[in-house]
């Protein structure tokens, strides 16, 4: 068993014992994703979110995975969008607003995704988050003037 496998097993053990431990849940999801175990990552996020909907980072990660999972059959823009919108309403953070754009893209609503992303770029710049604004600007190109703007999968 590799060190990565041991770390994953340990984080999963802690996360499953206490879904309120957001750090353990998110570390488990990161390690599961690296191992391309997206269905397990999604199931853990869904279970944790169901029990602790107040955990913003868990909810944001769930919305992100629902909108842009590398495994296309796990995606659900319809589920991701209201979750992402609620997170953004709660936090007002541009990185959370970008998940709204991603969910819109997954739903094929490219013009709305581009408009939403442009607003998040402006918000990031207003907050002096220039690295984030630059990344969002690069992602904007995926939404603009396209008939299909779904995030790429495997």
Which domains occur in the chain, in start order? 1-52 (no CATH), 54-154 (1.25.40)
- Residue 132, classed as helix, strand or coil, is helix
Give CA torsion, residues 42, 46, 52, 55, to 10 deg: 40
Cα 100 to Cα 81: distance, rounded to the nearest angstrom: 6
Per-residue pLDDT of the chain (154 residues; tens, 9 = 90+): 565 677 778 878 888 888 889 999 999 999 999 999 999 999 999 999 999 999 999 999 999 999 999 999 999 999 999 999 999 999 999 999 999 999 999 999 999 999 999 999 999 999 999 999 999 999 999 898 777 787 776 5
């Amino acid at each position: 068993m590799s060190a990565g496998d041991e770390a994953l097993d340990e984080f999963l053990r802690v996360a499953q014992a206490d879904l309120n431990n957001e750090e353990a849940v998110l570390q488990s999801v990161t390690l599961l994703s690296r191992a391309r175990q997206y269905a397990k990552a999604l199931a853990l996020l869904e279970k944790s979110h169901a029990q602790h909907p107040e955990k913003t980072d868990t909810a944001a990660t769930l919305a992100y995975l629902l909108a842009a999972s590398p495994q296309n059959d796990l995606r659900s823009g319809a589920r991701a969008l209201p979750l992402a919108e609620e997170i953004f309403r709660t936090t007002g953070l541009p990185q959370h607003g970008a998940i709204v754009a991603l969910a819109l893209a997954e739903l094929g609503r490219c013009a709305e995704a581009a408009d939403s992303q442009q607003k998040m770029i402006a918000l990031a710049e207003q907050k002096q988050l220039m690295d984030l604004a630059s990344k969002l600007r690069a992602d904007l190109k995926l939404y603009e003037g396209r008939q299909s703007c779904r995030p790429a999968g495997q």
